Amino acid sequence: MSKLLEDREGLIIPKKLFKVAVAQYSSVNFDLEGSLNKLEKITKDAASKGAQLVLFPEAFLPGYPHGGDFGAVYGNHGLSGRKIYQLWHESAVEIPGPAITRLSKVAKENNIFLVVGIIEKESISSTLYCTVVFIKEDGEYLGKHRKLVPTNIERITWGQGDGSTLNVYDSPVGKVGAVICWENYMPLLRTTMYTKGIQIYCAPNADNSADRWQHTMRHIAMEGRCFVLGCNQFTRRSDYPPDPEFPNAISDKDGDRVLSSGGSIIVSPLGELIAGPNYSGEELLVAEIDLNDVIRGKYDLDVVGHYNRPDIFTLYVNEKPNPVLVTKMQDLKLSGAVDCEKQDCSNAIQKS
């Protein structure tokens, strides 16, 4: 045995152990109350297993409409799409609102940090947003992240988020943030999260590409030297309303047909699978993690530290909110919509 290996025989490696959970379940689709009830039951299960944080899938409240075409073809939008959009909008989540209050109660009662994918609606417009909310273990609502770029047909029904919701929050298990589904293919967004010191990288998604998505999750874990929690739904056609209520590419007669096959995983900062993937059904994945693995991982790779060249590469991120309505000129300037020092603001809309 070499002298170096002999020196390591009695080495004590300090650990900082926590349990995290990933909830691979179908929503009670288009039923906010039913989905909240299911979330509460799953959260209690996670807490009973010792989890201190639990992640739910993209759009879990009130569901992701797998297979729905919303009556859209080039040059036409059918009545069926308008009806299903109304149903979806009616069951969406307002912030603040009763659903957020309910989530806060569930988090506090179970002493667990919640990261939940929702469909968000605003009181000032009828646009929907794909959003993740963060609720502390004491019930405090911390904030949200809105998906920056909806994917494919999602763009018919979802608005775009802005840079004001690219936050990382302190949690009992480390610094946590969320990047939703194909946002994970945006390298500058990933880098932004790394610069904020993310340790628990939550990736709620609706991607159904099986093993290809596993490669993405493992790459991100190794690139960012962080724990990655990838969370997808497992759902069948029978989990959705029948054809007349929810026109779908898959007939309701094929109720056992899998529309989203899960594949949720938990990955270490060195790309090792800790839990999952499961492609066979609903499951709560629970894993013990050692937060010190994040520091040990950055020993040889820190892409926003010693393995970076800021003298060559510069990343600019606009984190200012971009509201629809600006009531004061200084707010227009703060939003980043216009630089009043360089541009003529005399024609900007102002409301006293």
Query: Tens digit of pLDDT for each residue in 25-35?
Result: 999 999 999 99
Please identify which residue in the block is written with the tokens 């390298």.
187
Fold of the domain spanning 17-297 = Nitrilase/N-carbamoyl-D-aminoacid amidohydrolase (3.60.110)
Q: Active-site residue numbers?
A: 58
Nearest to 100 by CA among 131, 64, 124, 65: 131
Q: How confident is the model over 186-224, as pLDDT tens digits?
A: 999 999 999 999 999 999 998 877 778 999 999 999 999
Q: How far is Cα 277 from Cα 219, in angstroms, rounded to an integer?
A: 15
CA 6 vs. chain centroid, Å, equals 45
Residue 62 φ/ψ, nearest 5 degrees: -105, 20
- Residue-level pLDDT at 330: 57
- Residue-level pLDDT at 168: 98
Q: At what angle do helices 187-195 and 211-224 cross, to 10 degrees?
A: 40
Q: How far is Cα 56 from Cα 251, in angstroms, rounded to an integer?
A: 27
- Residue-level pLDDT at 334: 56
Q: 288's torsion region: left (phi>0), alpha (psi -120 to 50) or beta?
A: beta
- Residue-level pLDDT at 10: 62
Pairing of the two strands 273-275 and 141-146: unpaired
- Residue-level pLDDT at 5: 46
- Residue-level pLDDT at 335: 57
Q: How far is Cα 201 from Cα 219, in angstroms, rounded to an integer?
A: 12
Q: How confident is the model over 64-78, as pLDDT tens digits?
A: 988 777 777 777 777
Write the CA distances from 190 to 176, 187, 194, 266, 336, integer angstroms: 13, 5, 6, 17, 22
H or E element: which one contains 258?
Answer: strand 258-261
The pLDDT profile of the chain, 352 residues, written as one tens digit per residue, is 444 445 556 667 788 999 999 999 999 999 999 999 999 999 999 999 999 999 999 999 999 988 777 777 777 777 777 888 888 899 999 999 999 999 999 999 999 999 999 999 998 888 999 999 999 999 999 999 999 999 988 888 899 999 999 999 999 999 999 999 999 999 999 999 999 999 999 999 988 777 789 999 999 999 999 999 999 999 998 888 887 777 777 777 777 888 889 999 999 999 999 998 999 999 999 999 999 999 999 999 999 999 999 999 999 999 999 887 766 665 555 555 544 444 444 433 333 3
- Residue-level pLDDT at 4: 44
**pTM score of the predicted model:** 0.89
Q: Where are the domains of the chain?
A: 17-297, 320-352
